[in-house]
Structure 1
């Protein structure tokens, strides 16, 4: 029997269930978790689509902006043949925005939403005066740390996948109404959602859970996890500048690198995690 099959999965599920119930009963936590996906995956892409479809042809400012996007279109990976089937410059520009420039927003979503749950993992228990009961659960340190990592990951991925569905409805609605074409998802987006997004989420949540076990308040833990947004911001700048585009190959490589770092991060955190030290530090 392999080692993971010997773990106390019943106890791990109990901790996860308790964490999720606590989070979803707190309106102050739920609000930002829902507002971010609504802005990034519904309002913002809808606004972009409405502005593009209704912009007058003789609007010089709009024409200049579209012209700048055309230069970026030339750098789109050659294996993305879908963009070549779009006849108008406006359609190609919208394709570039929806299928490439919005990618970093989706990489931010699981980190930003999941970090709310992750920051609550230990520091929140301390603030609610439930830490002592937690550290006496019949789980090993490794199992308890795993449960506290899985809780925010499950939350983050559910919200991210639901956001992707909402985003797809908006994007395809805009493209169908304007150009008669549905474009979302493609293979690159599927790889991002299934392979890269969970890896990015694990990295951000790992940092936040680790911080939550070492600080005294929810706010301190959440701020520590926010540092993971920085490399995602760099990726956004790189795409906007036409330096890098997330095709299937790039996404597979990026995901593999981040997953390898996640394994290191989790192993390091789990080995250094001690409920006795947590109790003495946070009480």
Structure 2
């Protein structure tokens, strides 16, 4: 396996991806919703923040499970400010897992299964590139952009939340903090790799991009489960949860890596090339 050869695959695929608005649209639109639209709705729309009693009933179980120091900080706030604080720093955190999963699975679907749609798979497999070169190059073309989008989204989210805190409540800068830095830089890269790995396995067994993307959408289900579990008070966004997620996704990546390498062979790709 040669990194230079893998980068040839990376640049070839990236030229295809950057011209494909079907691939780029969700990668641009979804982060904008999570980093700008949702926080602004939370802060500015009266129907969301103007009913503190209803909102406190919604976040009651989650509020009870927050660390004591957080509950102490919130107890000194007004109802509206407390809701914004809890949602921005805790409730919205699992949504940031959707960004790397969505971006990496969309890019990986196009990079692997898209070759079948473009009828370029046979020509690619006929090159002297090794299977390791091909696999690494295609993983990189999904991983690097998805991580850049995730990190950029985090920066935008920090700016929006801090502006809301300062301008609306005259409060302090809330983000970034150590918990979110550990979450973004420790968890999201592993989540992106897991999304890529699962999408690779799916792409090897389907006939084209659309089918691969549809099947990869199931990856969002565990993230939605985390959101509902947090709202219900079953889990809380904190150091223990983050370390647990790092361990779980590291194990998932190891398993997916073994399965991906085992099935990524020229003969199988040609047989299933559709």
TM-score by length of 1: 0.89
Alpha-carbon offset, residue 169 of structure 1: 1.1
1:174 aligned residue: 164
Provide the secondary structure at the position in 1 that maps to 2:144: helix
In 2, Cα distance between equivalents of 1:94 and 1:138: 56
1:11 aligned residue: 5
1:190 aligned residue: 181
Aligned length: 273
The one of 105, 108, 125 aligned to 2:115: 125
The one of 25, 28, 32 aligned to 2:26: 32
Please give the root-mean-square deviation of Cα atoms over the aligned residues, in Å: 2.1
Alpha-carbon offset, residue 42 of structure 1: 0.8
Q: Does 1:251 align with 2:238?
A: no
The one of 84, 87, 90 aligned to 1:97: 87
Q: Which moved more, 1:193-202 or 1:81-90?
A: 81-90
1:119-158 mapped onto 2 (5 Å cutoff)? 119-158=109-148
Q: Which moved more, 1:149-158 or 1:74-83?
A: 74-83
Alpha-carbon offset, residue 62 of structure 1: 3.9
1:268 aligned residue: 259
Q: Does 1:207 align with 2:201?
A: no
2:36 aligned residue: 42
Contact 1:52–1:90, Cα closer than 8 Å, also in 2: no
> Structure 2 stretches of 5 or more lacking a match?
none
In 1, Cα distance between equivalents of 2:98 and 2:182: 16
In 1, Cα distance between equivalents of 2:272 and 2:177: 48
Contact 1:53–1:178, Cα closer than 8 Å, also in 2: no
In 2, Cα distance between equivalents of 1:83 and 1:269: 47
Q: Which moved more, 1:230-239 or 1:204-213?
A: 204-213
In 2, Cα distance between equivalents of 1:32 and 1:250: 28
Alpha-carbon offset, residue 77 of structure 1: 2.2
Q: Does 1:231 align with 2:222?
A: yes
Provide the secondary structure at the position in 1 that maps to 2:255: helix
TM-score by length of 2: 0.92
In 2, Cα distance between equivalents of 1:220 and 1:266: 22
> Structure 1 stretches of 5 or more lacking a match?
1-6
Q: Which moved more, 1:89-98 or 1:231-240?
A: 89-98
Contact 1:121–1:209, Cα closer than 8 Å, also in 2: no
Alpha-carbon offset, residue 68 of structure 1: 4.3
Alpha-carbon offset, residue 196 of structure 1: 0.8
For residues 182-201 of structure 1, what are the alpha-carbon distances to aligned partners after superposition, in whole Å with 9 as ceiling and x for unaligned? 11122121111111111111
For residues 154-196 of structure 1, what are the alpha-carbon distances to aligned partners after superposition, in whole Å with 9 as ceiling and x for unaligned? 1111111111111111111111112222111221211111111
Alpha-carbon offset, residue 38 of structure 1: 0.9
Alpha-carbon offset, residue 249 of structure 1: 2.3
2:106 aligned residue: 116
Alpha-carbon offset, residue 104 of structure 1: 1.7
In 2, Cα distance between equivalents of 1:82 and 1:101: 18
In 2, Cα distance between equivalents of 1:113 and 1:68: 30
